[in-house]
Amino acid sequence: MKRLAFALAIVAGCASAGTLEGRIVGITDGDTITLLDADHKQHKIRLDGIDAPEKAQPFGNRSKQHLSDLAFNREAMAECGKVDRYQREVCRVIVGGTDVCLAQIQAGMAWHFKRYAKEQTRLHREQYAGAELEARAARRGLWADALPMPPWEWRHEKASQPSR
């Protein structure tokens, strides 16, 4: 019985990898969307390779709005490779031929999430890193701030503050 449960867990994890197609019906923030597939199943998707400012951070709402302008209510293809700890599928999302993950970085609305860069293909890793360097140099989006705080540092700071 334990072997069967283990085998089913492995199969369920593998089923998340692959390609999804559908309409983007929700934008949670600058790096999380909801895709509705042809079977009317909603997929919560964390954009692969990027980390956008949290909503309460500077540029958080602008990042969300930029992603919405790129993807909301449009047909998309999502290339998914894993499920994160919040049960979101982690995917590279293409809308109208545009990699929206890369577009978020190019616009200065997200960081290249280097913590997970080894999980990206070499091409995507190089594109995303180069796009961040270019956005920084041009002081686009969040790079207009003198010292923008990466969201992983912001989350850590918030978590270490005592509750009131």
Q: Is 155 a catalytic residue?
A: no
List, in order, residues 6 or more apart from 164 with CB less than 8 Å away: none
The two tokens of residue 164 are: 């009131």
Selecting among 75, 79, 85, 88, the annotated active-site residue is: 88
Q: Is 164 a catalytic residue?
A: no
Residue type, 133: L
The β-bridge partners of 47 are 91
* End-to-end alpha carbon distance in the chain: 46
List, in order, residues 6 or more apart from 43 with CB less than 8 Å away: 20, 22, 34, 35, 36, 37, 78, 89
Selecting among 54, 89, 92, 132, the annotated active-site residue is: 54
Selecting among 3, 21, 23, 46, the annotated active-site residue is: 46
How far is the C-alpha of 107 from the C-alpha of 50, rounded, in Å? Answer: 12
Q: Is 89 a catalytic residue?
A: no
Query: What residues are labeled active site?
Result: 46, 54, 88
